[in-house]
Structure 1
């Protein structure tokens, strides 16, 4: 997932405007009744999950706050220490149980010479003892949390150097802390091997550039950025507490795994790999430790149903392939494993547990896939399938298959989208009016704002929050300044958040309520220097092309050569028909201009839109028509900022 830092400091929710209508509300009678019904329907809890989560505990930090170098807090391991007793009415009882287990933190022994640091970030860091040092799998999200995790390991188990680093897949919470546990100097000196799956760098760069701005804004909703942990606030993310603040880093892999069955020996430890691309990440692999009889399932099996398409947005994943890779894992590793761990959540112990856990996940993704396709082929639309499709009791009663992160509703739509796209074949949906215009027309057709409000209040009183939010959403888009509609829609979203079993559904509903009450809080997303350095130049130029504004460039034609000596690269930029085309290792014979300089200055010119005079003073050389370069720069939209989601 593209990561937006979330500071879980356990502070109070920010004060709302001095208006009772804009304050958070308690659980309504309808929500209280719904929570009781959910509690009564839950499977029996045999205590295994709690026992597994606490088994092997050694120690945790004495200071719960992890800080950046400047003293700024970036993580609080005890952000959920307030959770005690039964679920309050404002939290789904199933999610409460889940988070009460997931909140534990510290260093845990999971097998001979294998440990995990859990609860120091959204992900886990797995630690393997080599002959001379530590081999680390997935060094968390940020430099600060990874450094704190390694500090705890060295304190409790004895100080050792890091001799190996393994990235299980191409999401930032599985490599972002690399510089917190090792250095470029040690890698260049051959002291540390870094292993990653095929296409790791390309996929890491791709997800964070092309759609990075939109994903980042939507991720604020998914992870509840800005919501304080609490009974009326954030309750984790389903696979962890939240995403740590701090510096996201990246060290380039020194070795790449290409196929299942490949083996490597690092610091005397043999490792075997299973490639699982196009599942939870486009570039992903699992790791087997023969000596420890331990299998790390990365993120294709955790403590919850995952997302086939994340709410923040991503490439749609392949549910069928996901199931098949889990089946392969059962056949290749279940019989050889006494322990199974993953890069999120807690481990499971015992060969039978390993097999049932992997096969249970396998069957859940296969059922989700096959039944969606079955209903799709009967003519049901994605919305109809999402309403109809539920996990069978045999799967739903396995706690690890419940929807704390992904849901059957969202995932069935993703399977439909993978095969058929967004269009449901109903012509009325082929070319509908955009939200604002549609809202105005629907509100008018229903008899105006007062009528819509009256109907919405009736639905609210009946506890039909799905209908009330649908009605009020139309009214807010028709009349964004209608204070009563905004306040009531916030209340409706809030109750749906309280009832949600999925942590990220809860986050989205409660974040929407906050935005409606307080207004959007602009977020400043800082890009990792390491990430920018890792991105291939062609991808950077393709990203620039997506910001070319046709209203500004119009029918202007430009021919510009870029020369980048520090990368030994050159590029031919052609603009025409309001399109920018880049051809690498090529040049115009008669360019309007030729620009020469280090890539860093190109980033400043094309992304930060720094004035050319400043760039020339810094060493950028422009030959030919400087106005052509200025025209290109002027036609580029600024880097995208935050945008509205629940209002126009």
Structure 2
């Protein structure tokens, strides 16, 4: 920043403004390889050779079906009820009408687990008739990544996947791992929790409907990841450890914990050893032939290890988080192969910054970073040093006109930080974002650029962005533990203070009650015994209404949906929570 400030002080502040405002209409464009890459994703049903395995490529994700002697095994279930319903229709029309005997979740991400109840009745899962297999850490990872940070991750996912794009921007947009996603909507979940588990770092052999499967934990792309090997058919179902025809998303800009590169590398090495004749991923097409599969897995392994190990080398040389992308540079030619190491989805630079935080924290080592000048105040001082708003805006306009969209966006950001309603600066930054977005073939970056432009122009309906992931109907269907986990992160200390209150929740059909306690602005919950604290009786739906903020304790009492002497305490606890669901701006802040 110092060199830019110096340059502006020397010439920018005194340089004349443009004779007229720059043309901010940016013609639509998309790199030819990005457009061509979209053609790899087709909605189709593929029979994997002469094996009993079928792959359904469908709306951003795959579902795999294994046909046994008297039933089917389904691996992953799609992102919502509508997707699962359409996929089941394809199964019945093109594969088999046999009953579904088991479900396997390869990992906890929502596009893989939210259609289960379409395929099997929940009652059949509850009574043990139909098992659902997953990794032993599945529920923990679902809670950590799908509950704790859900509001911000839901918003960021909407940007990354371009949910509000329209016209040509939407028509030509596809997600680099997965193709087009179905349009945002109600997104009703049909998730059913797993009932059978594969040990972390372990494996499990099962036989269902006469088909033998070896399930083994991998833990790379997601810590809860498992893969499946069918020894009698030489088929490897790789899940998302091969994340589709793209450079892997070693770090998701949507927001995840750091993905463990070493586990991912080891997972790929283990898969190589099976010498599979067929590999069936959960994104992208089937890969055929032992030689081709081995070459792909080897290259994938090497590109992950290169990105990870070179980042660690640079970190140890004192390269800081923001310096890493330039220091790492582009992937060398010998690691490039179209499309599996082309950065259509993941990007090495983004992964490098994630590794920095994951390994040695956010701190650069420069003590100046310990108590930085607040962002808005820093922007005010920098703009003042540059001579005020007019010369900064003029410099940003010149940068845009001269083709430096990044610098134009950075300068406009200073002005927007000071005055959120500075529409000249916002429109300029939006145009800069469009130039940057139209130029990239990385779908994650493209999504953030183009959605960010809409936000700057005031064209985003922020309140509706998260509906895809935070549908109140879906919250009502969550296990009680996940509902309570969600509100744990919504305690407002200004409201809660040092209060110490507890209530016993007796939820219809849940057996043992739950003890909910608010103490010192922390919310705790665990299975408890009636009599420890005043009791509230309610149903799962009523609890979901409370957790989502769609109903108050008083309203539920009045409606007869909640009763008990503990209702006053429960009211006090929920009054201490921030359930407003305030829309989150990512660009204007």
> TM-score, with normalisation over the residues of structure 2?
0.88
SS of the equivalent of 1:372 reads helix
1:480 matched to 2:420? The reply is yes
Q: Distance in 2 between matches of 1:421 and 1:584?
A: 35
Q: Following the alignment from structure 2 to structure 1, what is the Cα–Cα distance between the partners of residues 540 and 88?
A: 34
Distance in 2, Cα, partners of 1:94 & 1:283: 33
3-state secondary structure, aligned to 1:567? coil
Secondary structure of the residue aligned to 2:523 is strand
Q: 1:515 to 1:264 in 2, by over 3 A?
A: same
In the superposition, relative to structure 1, how do residues 507 and 149 fare at CA in structure 2: closer, same or farther (>3 Å)? same
Alignment partners' CA distance in 1, 2:25 and 2:280: 38
Structure 1 contact 572–588 (Cα < 8 Å) conserved:
no
Residues 256 and 573 (structure 1), Cα distance of their counterparts in 2 relative to 1, 3 Å cut: closer
CA offsets, 1:426-455, max 9 Å, x none?
Answer: 223322234333322222221111111111
Instruction: Assess, with a 3 A threshold, how the Cα gap between structure 1 residues 311 and 165 changes in structure 2: closer, same or farther.
Output: same
Q: What does 1:421-570 correspond to in 2, within 5 Å?
A: 421-522=361-462, 523=464, 524-525=466-467, 526-527=470-471, 533-537=477-481, 539-564=482-507, 566-570=509-513
**Where does 1:591-602 land on structure 2 (aligned, <5 Å)?**
593-602=534-543
Deviation at 1:367, TM superposition (A): 0.7
1:640 equivalenced with 2:564 (yes/no): no
Distance (whole Å) between structure 2 residues aligned to residue 598 and residue 534 of structure 1: 12
- Provide the aligned length of Structure 1 versus Structure 2: 557
Unpaired stretches in structure 2, ≥5 consecutive residues? 1-20
Query: Equivalent residue for 2:168?
Result: 230
SS at match of 1:496: helix
Query: Is residue 205–residue 531 contact of structure 1 (8 Å, CA) maintained in 2?
Result: no
Residue 315 of structure 1: aligned partner: 257
**Distance in structure 1 (CA, Å) of the matches to 2:395 and 2:552:** 55
* CA displacement at 1:530 relative to structure 2: 6.2
- The answer to whether the 8 A contact 1:205-1:535 is kept is no
1:349 correspondence with 2:288: yes
d(CA) in 1 for partners of 2:165 and 2:295?
36
CA shift for structure 1 position 496: 0.7
- In 2: Cα distance, 1:24 partner to 1:601 partner: 50
Match of 2:223 among 266, 282, 307: 282
Contact between 1:111 and 1:292, CA under 8 Å: does it hold in 2?
no
| 1:273 corresponds to | 215
Pairing 1:48-197 to 2, within 5 Å after superposition? 90-102=29-41, 104-112=42-50, 113-118=52-57, 120-187=58-125, 192-197=130-135
Displacement of 1:500 in angstroms is: 1.3
Structure 2 counterpart SS, 1:360:
helix
The answer to which of 245-254 and 351-360 deviates more is: 245-254
What does residue 324 of structure 1 align with?
266
Work out the CA distance in 2 between the residues paired with 1:644 and 1:375. 33
The C-alpha deviation readout for 1:82-126, integer Å capped at 9, x for no partner, is xxxxxxxx1123322211222x221122222222111x2211111
Post-superposition shift, 1:284?
0.8
In structure 2, relative to structure 1, the CA distance for the partners of 1:439 and 1:269 (3 Å cut) is: same
- Quote the Cα distance in structure 1 between the aligned partners of 2:24 and 2:402: 21
User: Higher mean Cα deviation, 228-237 or 337-346?
Assistant: 228-237
How big is the shift at 1:473? Answer: 1.2
CA distance in 2: counterparts of 1:449 and 1:609, whole angstroms: 43
Please give the alpha-carbon distance, in whole angstroms, between the structure 2 residues aligned to 1:429 and 1:284.
36
2:316 is matched with: 377
- Please, what TM-score do these two structures have when normalized by structure 1? 0.80
CA contact (8 A) 1:164 1:267 kept: no
